[in-house]
């Protein structure tokens, strides 16, 4: 399926369309669609087939559109469709052959559908997908993605006023940096307390994360909230920047060592979960629960500027880096230097 063999698909289907369609009535088979702009005419061609055969052309057109939507939208594998062929018999059986290309490495991927195999357009509808395995992809029609499909339906079914209420929290400020009014200090403070106190207290729920320093634990607690919390916990999204920092030092340099350790911990959690060991994954989930419980008794102090200054001064310890370079150990009370 590399660049110099993908043309076989388009050439063969084009030849079949030109040679078979003049004899469709006696052969009982119709080839619709094609490459580029020709593929966009497929629904109309199928409606015309329906008028000639008595088949439901609009239902066939719907199947054509759905198969295209699935392979171009719900499957996000880095390939863009450019060819769509829909072959239908006068009994109403149909097959779809469509192909997509990835321009970066000039490879193609072909998607096969057959009406007999399609029990649902949104659950394992393909007869085959042909091409090189290029790694993990987003596949919302995988049978394991059904919970995600339901979440999407739930969001789509929400009243617009509720969605708009949540969306307003995603509007970015026009100024750079983080200000006290952007942060719920009680929430952030409980995260910091959890990270520090874990050195001295035997939290049973986070024993499985033993070996991580308090700074990485702080980041994981914030990451855990992003993964596991309800929408109401995102009313002050700026606090999540305290997980790893920012490339322009807002609110402090990216802590590359903490960043890498967080990724490694999450990766390990996923790998263990695949083997049926959910212990580490549950421990990460517990972090956000612990932080939320701590908020009940935590007294917030308005010391955001001191916190940001502290993070900047200590950034060099954790591989702090911005677009200007790596953080260096401060000298003479300066907040931070860069290579």
Helix (H) or strand (E) holding 84: strand 80-89
CB 142 within 8 A of CB 124: yes
pLDDT one digit per residue (tens) for the chain, 339 residues: 454 567 889 999 999 999 999 999 999 999 999 998 999 999 999 999 999 999 999 999 999 999 999 998 888 888 899 999 999 999 999 999 999 998 777 788 999 999 999 999 989 999 999 888 877 888 888 988 888 888 777 776 677 677 667 666 555 555 566 766 667 776 777 666 666 655 444 444 454 465 667 777 778 878 887 777 766 677 777 778 888 888 877 788 889 998 888 888 888 888 877 777 777 777 777 777 777 777 776 666 657 788 888 888 888 888 998 888 888 887 765 655 544
Helices (H) and strands (E) in the chain, counts: 11, 11
- Is residue 264 helix, strand or coil? helix
Site of tokens 């999204």: 237
- Cα Rg of the chain, angstroms: 28
Residue 1, token pair as written in the block: 């399926």
Closest CA to 223 of 252, 182, 195: 195
- Is residue 278 helix, strand or coil? coil
pTM, entire model = 0.51
Distance, CA of 198 to CA of 193 (rounded, Å): 8
What pLDDT is recorded for position 231?
A: 67
Q: Which residues contact 181 (CB under 8 A, 6 or more apart)?
A: none
Question: Other C-beta atoms within 10 Å of 31: how many?
Answer: 23
Length, in residues, of the chain: 339
Distance, CA of 66 to CA of 113 (rounded, Å): 11
What pLDDT is recorded for position 287?
A: 77
DSSP 334: -
What pLDDT is recorded for position 200?
A: 41
Distance, CA of 188 to CA of 73 (rounded, Å): 37
CB 74 within 8 A of CB 139: yes
Q: Which residues contact 253 (CB under 8 A, 6 or more apart)?
A: 245, 246, 312, 315, 320, 321, 322, 327, 336
What pLDDT is recorded for position 289?
A: 77
What pLDDT is recorded for position 61?
A: 95
In Å, how far are 265, 277, 315, 317 from 324, measured between CA atoms?
28, 42, 14, 17
What pLDDT is recorded for position 201?
A: 46
């Amino acid at each position: 399926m590399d660049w110099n063999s993908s043309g076989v698909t388009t050439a063969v289907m084009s030849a079949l369309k030109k040679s078979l369609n003049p004899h469709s009535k006696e052969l009982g088979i119709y080839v619709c669609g094609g490459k580029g702009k020709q593929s966009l005419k497929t629904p109309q061609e199928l409606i015309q087939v329906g008028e000639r055969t008595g088949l439901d052309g609009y239902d066939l057109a719907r199947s054509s559109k759905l198969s295209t939507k699935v392979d171009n939208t719900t499957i996000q594998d880095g390939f863009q469709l450019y060819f769509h062929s829909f072959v239908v018999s006068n009994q109403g059986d149909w097959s779809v052959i469509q192909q997509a290309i990835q321009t970066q490495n000039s490879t193609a991927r072909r998607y096969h559908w057959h009406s007999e195999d399609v029990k649902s357009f949104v659950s394992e509808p393909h007869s085959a997908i042909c091409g090189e395995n290029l790694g993990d992809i987003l596949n919302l029609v995988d049978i394991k993605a059904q919970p995600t499909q339901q979440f999407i339906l739930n969001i789509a079914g929400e009243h617009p006023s509720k969605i708009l209420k949540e969306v307003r929290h995603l509007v970015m400020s026009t100024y750079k940096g983080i200000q006290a009014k952007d942060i719920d200090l009680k929430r952030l403070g409980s995260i910091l307390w959890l990270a520090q106190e874990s050195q001295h207290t035997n939290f049973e729920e986070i024993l499985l994360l033993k070996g991580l320093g308090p700074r990485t634990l702080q980041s994981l607690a914030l990451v855990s909230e992003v993964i596991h919390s309800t929408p109401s916990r995102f009313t002050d999204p700026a606090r999540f920047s305290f997980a790893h920092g920012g490339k322009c030092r807002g609110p402090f340099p990216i802590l590359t060592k903490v960043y890498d350790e967080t990724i490694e911990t999450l990766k390990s959690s996923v790998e263990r979960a695949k083997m049926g060991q959910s212990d580490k994954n549950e421990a990460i989930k517990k972090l956000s629960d612990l932080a939320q419980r701590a908020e009940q008794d935590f007294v917030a102090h308005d010391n955001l500027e001191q916190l940001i200054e502290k993070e900047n001064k200590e950034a060099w310890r954790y591989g702090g880096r911005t677009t200007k370079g790596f953080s260096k150990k401060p000298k003479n009370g300066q907040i931070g230097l860069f290579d």
